[in-house]
Structure formats: C-alpha cells, structure tokens
Amino acid sequence: MRSAIIEALYPTSANILPAVCEGLGLASGDRDKAFASKRNYVQGRISGLSRDRLLQVAHQLLQDGPNFELEEAVARVEEASERLMSDLLRRAIGRALIPFDLSGHIPLNEFLRDVWPIDRLPSRLNHGETVQDDLDRHMHRNADMDNEDALEAVGAYSGSQRRFFRFLEALIHPRTREEDEQRRLVAILNPLLQRDGFHLAETGSVSGYPVFTIKAIGGSAEAPADPLISEVLAAFDEASVHEAWTRALQRRATHPEGAITLARTLLETVCKHIIEEAGGTYSDRDELPKLYRTAAEHLQLAPDQHTEEVFKTILGNCQNVVNSLASIRNKLSDAHGRGRKAVRPAARHAELAVNLAGTVATFLVSTWRARQAAKL
C-alpha cells in the first residue's frame, strides 16, 4: 500500500507537495527535498506509519477522486481479515458466464469501464497497448475472445474481491438486463458463490426491478442448511424448482410476503414434478395440500402407508407442515389483497416458512431419488 500512496501523490507538483503532505497529517519538510525526488520525499514520511495510519492516509487521498491502483491496494489490505473467494471459484464463474451477453443493454467497453479503467490498464497481449485495445480487436472485430478471456484481460481473477463483487452486482443490475435474465443468472451464480460462503441477495428495487447485492452467508441472512438444500434442488430441477428456492431465499429478509408466496410455489413445483415423473396426474385446481398427498402416496410417504407409529407420526406432521404453509400463504403472503388492518409478516415468519418449505422439498426429492435408485 505504501507504493500505491507514493504513486498517488507523485503527480502532485513538487512546489506544493510539502503542503499536501502536511494536509494529510504527515511530517513537514522543505521544497528542496521534494524537488530532488518526490517519491523519496513521500517515502520518508510514510515509511514508519502503522497499517491503520496508512489506510487513513489512503482514504483521505481517495476522497479527492478515484484512483484504481490505490483503491485496489486499500481493498487488498482491508480484505485480508475478511472471508475471501478463491481464484478457482472466480474462474468457474467466468466459465459460467460464457453463454451470456456480458454487458446486456450496455456497450461492452462502457460496462467494463465502470468497473475497471480498461483504457488505461496495460494490455497483457501487446506491449504499448491497453486492455481496451485488446477488447476492440478480439471481441468486437475478430470475435476470438469469450467472456472468460475478457475477464482475464481486465484482471478480474487476480484483482481485489471488492471489485469482483462490484462487477457481479453490475452484471445483475436492472440497468444491464431484463428481470428474467437477472434471475436466470442469479440461479446459476448462487450455487457457485455458496461454495465460498457468499450469495447474491435481493436487497432492493429500482422502478420495481430487483437489485441484487453480494452477501456473506451467515447470521440471519442464511441458515446453515441453505447450501445443502440448494445443491439438492438444483440437481433435481435447475430451471423451476431451484429458481423458486433461490428467489425465496433472496426475499426472506427484504420481502417477507413474497418469500412466503415463493415457499408455497417451491413445494407445489416439487410435488407436481414428482407426480408427473411417477406417471400420476393432478388438476390445475389442486391446492398444495392435495398435491402433497398425491406426491406422498407415489413416494410411499403417506402416514396410512406405514404401520410403525413413529413413522406415522413424523409423516403426519410433514402433512401438517404443508397444510400450515398453505394456510400462512393465504393469510400472510402477497398472493391476495388485504384490508388496512391485516397482519403483515416479519422476516422471521418468512424465514420459518422458507426453511420449512426447503426442508420438506429436499426430503421429497431425496426420497424420489432413493426410490428411483432402488429400481435400478
């Protein structure tokens, strides 16, 4: 970080450098030494400073305007004590993004320039050129560079985690793409991010379009079982089942009513998938309790299909949970209009509903897999 501070101050005129350094709380000095070597002048004033004092100086400098190198240096120091994503996972994300339009509605160079100074970053391919030159040549004119390569070119895999997260949040932002593609990307990226303890959470909206933010898994934001449930449901059905689960997770804290609706949607979708794959039928008018009973019968999970009392009790309680989820959805979700004095759910209610739905859904999917494996 010391070298980044020195380079950030180097463009300052030697005539005013002593005053600038004093303004930053650094030791005073005379202009002759500054004129002799600006770098040595600054080095002499920061060489003995502690990490926290260096960070303070760096943040003071950044108040005057953005500085890519200094921002990266500060991020590296501050991230040293935080949870970090592996380079391996960053590259896996790069590969997952290959089929997508990286910049969506925004021209590619403009989109990337909001995160990396591509018109100043030196090319890794051609001496004397910039990353923007590489992108113009290999993505716009010749089309022989894919998204994974483009992220390599801008330094996404080796730069600060803070900047990589900034890129992911811009990638999913409603300014960049439509909601259906936002959610498709979130459903693809979250199972990857969860490997290192992160996820894209729905934290707000712009004109009704969702805004997603990278959050660390932990505390009330995500339960320990969430990644396990995500893995099981994604393997069962990525497009609809896992998407419903992901959206329910994202809304637990920020939109409890919507999360409760999605908890029911998740269970309905799982039950319908199992009934269809088992060769059964259901009506479009069938509500969740009936769908669950039908799926449970195909899975031999109905209480009356067992004689052992403890299993009858457990399976009966599962049916009661499903019935309760259907009921809470009708009373507390955003699926129906309500009067002014209606009870509104809190985040803890949504957390309970979503966690219960995820657990029951995982139990159904795991049982279905076990039944299928037994037939082989």
Residue type at 306 in one-letter notation: H
Summarize the confidence of residues 163-177 as an average pLDDT: 96
Task: List the chain domain ranges.
Answer: 2-79, 87-214, 241-375
From the list 55, 31, 40, the residue with the least C-alpha distance to 9 is 40
* DSSP SS3 for 145: coil
Q: How high is the pLDDT of residue 177?
A: 95
Given a cut of 90, is residue 120 above it in pLDDT? yes
* DSSP SS3 for 215: strand
For residue 248, the number of C-alpha atoms closer than 13 Å in the C-beta half-sphere is: 32
Q: How high is the pLDDT of residue 330?
A: 63
Summarize the confidence of residues 158-175 as an average pLDDT: 96
The partner residues of 202 in beta bridges, in order of sequence, read 212
* DSSP SS3 for 147: helix
Q: Chain-wide mean pLDDT for the chain?
A: 87
Given a cut of 60, is residue 115 above it in pLDDT? yes
Q: Which residue is it, tokens 């003995």? A: 48
Q: SS3 breakdown of the chain: % helix, strand, coil, rounded to 5?
A: 60, 5, 35
The partner residues of 198 in beta bridges, in order of sequence, read 216
Q: Which has more pLDDT, 64 or 308? A: 64
From the list 147, 257, 239, 251, the residue with the least C-alpha distance to 200 is 251
From the list 127, 153, 128, the residue with the least C-alpha distance to 140 is 153
* DSSP SS3 for 206: strand
Residue 266 CB contacts under 8 Å (≥ 6 apart), including other chains: 233, 241, 244, 245, 248, 357, 358, 361
Residue 257 corresponds to which tokens in the numbers above?
């009513």
- Report in angstroms the alpha-carbon separations of 8 from 11, 17, 70, 140: 7, 12, 7, 33
Helices (H) and strands (E) in the chain, counts: 18, 2
Residue 199 CB contacts under 8 Å (≥ 6 apart), including other chains: 190, 193, 214, 215, 217, 222, 249, 250
Residue 275 corresponds to which tokens in the numbers above?
């009934």
Determine the Cα–Cα distance for residues 123 and 235; give it in Å rounded to an integer. 40
Given a cut of 80, is residue 134 above it in pLDDT? yes
Q: Buried b vs exposed e over 284-293: b needs ≥16 C-beta within 10 Å?
A: eebebbebbb
Task: Determine if the pTM surpasses 0.85.
Answer: no
Q: How high is the pLDDT of residue 287?
A: 92
Residue 94 corresponds to which tokens in the numbers above?
């790069």
For residue 35, the number of C-alpha atoms closer than 13 Å in the C-beta half-sphere is: 4
CB 248 within 8 A of CB 360: no
- Please state the φ and ψ torsions of residue 239, each to the nearest 5 degrees: -70, -45
Q: Which has more pLDDT, 207 or 234? A: 207
pLDDT band at 63 (very low <50, low <70, confident <90, very high): very high
Run of H or E residues at 224:
none
Summarize the confidence of residues 5-12 as an average pLDDT: 94
Given a cut of 90, is residue 130 above it in pLDDT? yes
* DSSP SS3 for 122: strand
Q: How high is the pLDDT of residue 124?
A: 87
Determine the Cα–Cα distance for residues 344 and 347; give it in Å rounded to an integer. 10
Residue 369: count of CB within 10 angstroms of its CB: 13
Q: What is the pLDDT of residues 178-216, one digit of tens each?
A: 999 998 999 899 889 988 889 998 888 899 898 999 988
Q: How high is the pLDDT of residue 343?
A: 60
From the list 187, 185, 142, the residue with the least C-alpha distance to 167 is 185
Q: How high is the pLDDT of residue 236?
A: 77
From the list 207, 164, 210, the residue with the least C-alpha distance to 183 is 210
Q: How high is the pLDDT of residue 245?
A: 82
Residue 113 corresponds to which tokens in the numbers above?
């320039």
Q: What is the pLDDT of residues 290-345, one digit of tens each?
A: 999 999 999 988 777 777 777 778 888 888 888 888 887 666 554 545 455 556 77
Determine the Cα–Cα distance for residues 143 and 69; give it in Å rounded to an integer. 30
Task: Choose the weakest-confidence range: 43-52, 97-106, 188-197, 335-344.
Answer: 335-344
